[in-house]
Chains A and B, each alone.
Chain A
Amino acid sequence: MNPLLKQFVSESRDLIQSISESLLLLEKNANTRDTLNELFRLIHTLKGNTGLFDFPDMTHVLHAAEDIMAERRDVEAPWEQTLTDLILEVMDYLSEFCNQLEITDGNPVSDTVMAHQLAGQLRGFSLSAQPPASVSDKPKKKPAARKSRKKTDRPEEPAESSTTASFTESELIRAWFCSGNESLLHLVYTPASDCFFQGEDPLYSVRQLPGFVAGSLSFQGDGAAAEGFDPFQCQTRFSLLTQASETEIREHFRYVPEQIELTPLAEELFPVLRGDIQASAVSEETADDLCKAAEQNDSSKLMALTDATLELLNPDLKVAAALRWLKAATDASDTVRQQRCLQELRDLLQLPQWTFAEPAAPVAAASKSDSSRNLRLELARDDEDALQQILTTQKRLLEKDTRDVWSAGRIASAVNVIRNALIAMQKDDDLRRLDSAMEQALQVQPAALAAELDVLTVAADVSPENTVSATATPATVASTADNAQISDDAGDDTDDEESDDEEINDHAMADDTVPVVQHVQKAADITPAKTSAELNDNLTASVQSGSSRSVKVDQEKIDRLMNLIGEMVVAKNALPYLARRAEEEHGLRDLGRDIKEQFAVINRIAEEMQDSIMQIRMMPFSFITMRFPRLVRDISRRLNKNVQLMIEGEDTEADKNIIESLAEPLIHILRNSLDHGIEAPEVRRKAGKPAAGTLTIKASQEADRVLIEIHDDGKGIDPEVIKQKALEKGLIDDAAFQRLTNREAINLVLIPGFSTASEVSDLSGRGVGMDAVRCAVEKVNGSMALDSEAGKGTRIRISLPMSIAVTRVMIVESDNQLLGIPMDQVLETVRVPATDIHTVKSIQTTVLRERIVPLRSLNNLLAIDASQRMNEDNECAVLVVRVGIDVIGLIVDNFRGSADIIQKPMTGVLNGLRAYSGAALIGDGSVLMILNLKEIL
Chain B
Amino acid sequence: MTIIYSETEASLSDDVCVQEVDALMEWLLSHPEGRINLKLCRHLHLAALQSLMCVKRPVTEWPDDPGLRYWVEPALSKQEDHV
Give the interface of A toward B (CB within 8 A). 54, 143-145, 147, 191, 196, 201-204, 206-207, 215-217, 219, 221-224, 226-227, 229, 231-232, 234-236, 416, 420, 423-424, 496-497, 500, 503-504, 507-508, 519-520, 522-523, 526-527
Contact = CB atoms under 8 A, between A and B. Distances in A.
Interface string B47-83: 1111101110011111010111111001101111110
A217 B45 contact: no
Contact of B4 (A144, A231, A523): A523
Given A217-B75, A423-B66, 9 more contacts: A226-B54, A231-B50, A231-B54, A234-B47, A235-B50, A236-B49, A497-B77, A503-B60, A523-B6
11 contacts: A145-B78, A145-B81, A147-B81, A219-B54, A231-B51, A236-B50, A504-B61, A507-B60, A519-B9, A522-B6, A523-B6
A523 B54 contact: no
B50 A234 contact: yes
Contact of B51 (A229, A423, A523): A229
B26 to A, nearest CB: 9
A420 B71 contact: no
Given A222-B82, A500-B77, A527 B69 contact: no
Given A54-B19, A231-B48, A507-B60, A520 B4 contact: yes
A288 to B, nearest CB: 39
Contacts of B9: 519
Nearest to B8: A519
Contacts of A522: 6
Contacts of A519: 4, 6, 9
**Most chain B Cβ neighbours within 10 Å, of A143, A203, A219:** A203
Nearest to A206: B71
A229 B55 CA distance: 9
A224 B5 CA distance: 24
A204 B43 contact: yes
A384 to B, nearest CB: 15
Contacts of A520: 4
Interface of B: 1, 4-6, 9, 17-19, 21-22, 24-25, 28-29, 37, 43-51, 53-55, 58-62, 64, 66-71, 74-75, 77-82
Contacts of A196: 18, 45-47
Contact of A221 (B53, B66, B68): B53
Contacts of B82: 144, 222-223
A520 B70 CA distance: 28
Given A222-B82, A226-B55, A500-B77, A420 B64 contact: yes
Contacts of B74: 143, 145, 216
B68 A222 contact: no
Contacts of A235: 50
A191 B46 contact: yes
B6 A203 contact: no
A232 B44 contact: no
Nearest to A235: B50
Contacts of B19: 54
A221 B64 contact: no
B66 A420 contact: yes
A231 B77 contact: no
B46 A202 contact: yes
B43 A207 contact: yes
A20 B75 CA distance: 47
B62 A203 contact: no
A215 B54 contact: no
Contacts of B75: 217, 219
Contact of B66 (A145, A222, A424): A424
A810 B58 CA distance: 85
Contacts of B79: 144, 222
A143 B71 CA distance: 12
A424 B66 CA distance: 6
A224 B47 contact: no
A508 B61 contact: yes
Contact of B81 (A144, A204, A504): A144
A206 B82 CA distance: 26
B61 A226 contact: no
A232 B47 contact: yes
Contacts of A229: 25, 50-51, 54-55
Contacts of B59: 500
Contacts of B66: 420, 423-424
Given A144-B78, A145-B74, A423-B66, A201 B18 contact: yes
A143 B73 CA distance: 12
Contacts of B53: 219, 221-222, 236
Nearest to B4: A523
A416 B17 CA distance: 26
B58 to A, nearest CB: 7
Contacts of B29: 226-227
A497 B62 CA distance: 11
B71 A217 contact: yes
Nearest to A226: B55
Closest 9 CB pairs of A and B: A424-B66, A519-B6, A203-B46, A231-B51, A144-B78, A229-B54, A507-B60, A226-B55, A219-B53
A207 B49 contact: no
B51 A143 contact: no
A401 B68 CA distance: 34
A508 B18 CA distance: 28
**Most chain A Cβ neighbours within 10 Å, of B28, B49, B59, B69:** B49
Given A203-B71, A221-B54, A223-B82, A231 B47 contact: yes
A227 B54 CA distance: 10
B47 to A, nearest CB: 5
B45 A201 contact: yes
Contacts of A497: 77
Contacts of B21: 231-232
Contacts of A143: 74, 78
A391 to B, nearest CB: 15
B37 A203 contact: no
A211 B37 CA distance: 30
A219 B50 CA distance: 7
B71 A236 contact: no
Contacts of B51: 229, 231
B61 to A, nearest CB: 5
Nearest to B51: A231
Contacts of B1: 527
B6 to A, nearest CB: 4
**Most chain B Cβ neighbours within 10 Å, of A219, A520, A526:** A219
A185 B45 CA distance: 25
A875 B55 CA distance: 99
Contacts of B18: 196, 201, 232
A229 B54 CA distance: 7
Contacts of B22: 231
Nearest to A221: B54
A715 B54 CA distance: 72
Contact of A207 (B37, B50, B67): B67
A416 B64 contact: yes
Nearest to B45: A201
A24 B54 CA distance: 47
Given A203-B44, A520-B4, A504 B54 contact: no
A768 to B, nearest CB: 48
Contacts of B4: 519-520, 523
A261 to B, nearest CB: 18
Contacts of B28: 226
B10 to A, nearest CB: 9
Nearest to A531: B23
A489 to B, nearest CB: 18
A221 B55 CA distance: 10
A504 B60 contact: yes
Contacts of A224: 54
A527 B70 CA distance: 31
A423 B21 CA distance: 30
Contacts of A223: 82
B57 to A, nearest CB: 10
**Most chain A Cβ neighbours within 10 Å, of B50, B55, B64:** B50
